């Protein structure tokens, strides 16, 4: 009895869907489907998890016959609406709160920069840099919060690449209503902030105070908008699953391309060695002559299991693999370039702020942002022209 038949029968005895089994194993639903159709085979750690779930040995699962097992009503999954068994909702709410707080900290840092600007303009040199410290503190806190948010997202998606949709239509409708209400409240807060800024500037001639009030209002408005928007995205579990299924498909395309290249290299090497030893049937009889195309063609025996050579491969498959590899390389190059540029920009800002005490340190951030935009636009052209 095959592994796929055992897996299908064991899943049926527990009244378990492919989605539920995928969540327990931390894989995508497509992976479970491929296992049950003999299109792929799970890794050793997943096999051990399957043995724990279905209470069987590895030898029984892989080579035994488990189809004689009867339905286990006590262990079967009870029918009913899906539940959040992987703590998805709490993790995504935490991520939304951290991200929204990080955006708000940026505006609060600008508010501190503007609020201390009046002091720095008339006080001693010891207080002139107070506004710079305020902005830097807000930006640093925002970076820390963004880092925690990314870590929450990365940790969860690594453990749970597939999540069963447990949100009801009522939950999604409430999230949309909350988003609309938050956007309306953010608009009101922004208008009030603009009015306060105008009032302080015109009637009290306090420009710095007005700008500080405006940025405080923008901090509250941005928190509401970001948190509510991510709340709606949180309920779209189909998009979450689709995003990571596409990511897994890109990895599979890269692995397939590498296997094709490896198989072609092995076949060419074997053919060349056969030509050198005059063992190949169609080797050129003249010494020093290059082997024929048939001698260098990859044989079926030299190819990895499930792979095919470019000569017998479908051109559309090869083109799709090339396109996926190109897009992935462009994304990686963009991320690397942006990381290097912003790291250098941050170093320059720190030197100008704490060593040179230069008031022109924001120019380093502006130049770094412009350099990131230029690199983001130029990298695709550089990759295509290679």
Start-to-end CA distance of the chain, whole Å, equals: 50
d(CA 327, CA 60): 43
pLDDT at position 41 is: 81
Q: Select from 141, 138, 143 the least CA-distant residue to 107.
A: 138
Extract the tokens encoding 215. 């940025």
Q: What is the pLDDT of residues 62-99, one digit of tens each?
A: 888 887 777 654 444 555 566 777 888 999 999 999 99
> Residue ranges per domain, the chain?
3-63, 90-235, 247-313, 329-386
Q: Is the pLDDT confidence value at 330 over 70?
A: yes
d(CA 190, CA 219): 9
Whether the model pTM is above 0.75: no
Q: 139 or 359: which carries more pLDDT confidence?
A: 139
Confidence of residue 182 (pLDDT cuts 50, 70, 90): very high
**Average pLDDT of the residues in 136-157:** 88
Q: Select from 209, 200, 201 the least CA-distant residue to 116.
A: 209
d(CA 144, CA 9): 48
Cβ(192)–Cβ(221) under 8 Å? Answer: no
- For residue 143, what are the CA distances in angstroms to 39, 136, 138, 385? 44, 11, 9, 35
Confidence of residue 238 (pLDDT cuts 50, 70, 90): confident
DSSP-assigned states of every residue in 197-232: HHHHHHHS--HHHHHHHHHHHHHHHHHHHHHHHHHH
Q: What is the pLDDT of residues 15-74, one digit of tens each?
A: 778 777 887 777 777 788 888 888 888 888 888 888 888 888 888 888 888 877 776 544
- For residue 116, what are the CA distances in angstroms to 104, 132, 135, 212, 358? 18, 9, 10, 9, 16
Cβ(17)–Cβ(7) under 8 Å? Answer: no
Extract the tokens encoding 209. 């105070």
pLDDT at position 302 is: 38
Q: Is the pLDDT confidence value at 175 over 90?
A: yes
Residues 6+ apart with CB under 8 A from 95: 149, 152, 153, 230
CA dihedral angle for residue 286, residue 289, residue 290, residue 295, rounded to 10 degrees: 0
Regarding the domain delimited by 3-63, which CATH topology (the fold level of the hierarchy) does it fall under? 434 Repressor (Amino-terminal Domain) (1.10.260)
pLDDT at position 7 is: 85
């Amino acid at each position: 009895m095959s592994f796929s038949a055992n897996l299908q029968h064991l899943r049926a005895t527990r009244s378990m869907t492919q989605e539920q089994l995928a969540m327990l194993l931390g894989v995508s639903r497509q992976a479970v489907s491929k296992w049950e159709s003999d299109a792929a085979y799970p890794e050793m750690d997943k096999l051990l998890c399957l043995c724990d779930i279905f209470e069987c040995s590895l030898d029984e699962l892989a080579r035994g016959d488990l189809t004689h097992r009867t339905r286990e009503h006590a262990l079967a999954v009870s029918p009913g609406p899906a539940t959040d068994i992987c703590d998805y909702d709490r993790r995504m709410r935490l991520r939304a709160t951290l991200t929204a707080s990080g955006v708000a900290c940026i505006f609060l840092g600008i508010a501190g920069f503007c609020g201390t600007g009046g002091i720095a303009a008339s006080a001693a040199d010891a207080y002139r840099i107070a506004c710079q410290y305020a902005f830097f503190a807000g930006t640093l806190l925002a970076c820390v919060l963004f880092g925690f948010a990314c870590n929450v997202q990365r940790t969860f998606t690594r453990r749970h690449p597939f999540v069963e949709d447990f949100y009801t239509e009522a939950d999604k409708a409430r999230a949309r209503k909350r988003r609309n209400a938050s956007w309306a409240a953010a608009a009101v807060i922004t208008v009030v902030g603009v009015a306060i800024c105008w009032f302080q500037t015109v009637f009290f001639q306090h420009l710095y105070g007005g700008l500080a009030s405006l940025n405080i209002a923008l901090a509250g408005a941005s928190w509401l908008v970001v948190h509510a928007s991510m709340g709606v995205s949180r309920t779209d579990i189909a998009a979450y699953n689709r995003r990571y299924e596409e990511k897994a498909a890109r990895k599979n395309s890269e692995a397939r391309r590498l296997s094709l290249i490896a198989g072609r290299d092995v076949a060419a090497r074997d053919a060349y060695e056969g030509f050198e030893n005059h063992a190949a049937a169609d080797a050129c009889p003249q010494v020093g002559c290059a082997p024929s195309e048939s001698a260098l063609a990859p044989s079926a025996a030299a190819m990895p299991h499930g792979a095919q050579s470019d000569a017998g491969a479908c051109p559309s498959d090869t083109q799709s693999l090339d396109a996926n590899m190109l897009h992935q390389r462009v994304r990686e190059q963009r991320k690397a370039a942006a990381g290097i540029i912003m790291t250098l920009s941050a170093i320059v800002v720190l030197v100008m702020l704490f060593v040179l005490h230069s008031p022109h340190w924001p120019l380093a951030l502006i130049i770094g942002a412009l350099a990131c935009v230029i690199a983001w636009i130029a990298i695709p052209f550089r990759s295509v022209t290679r």
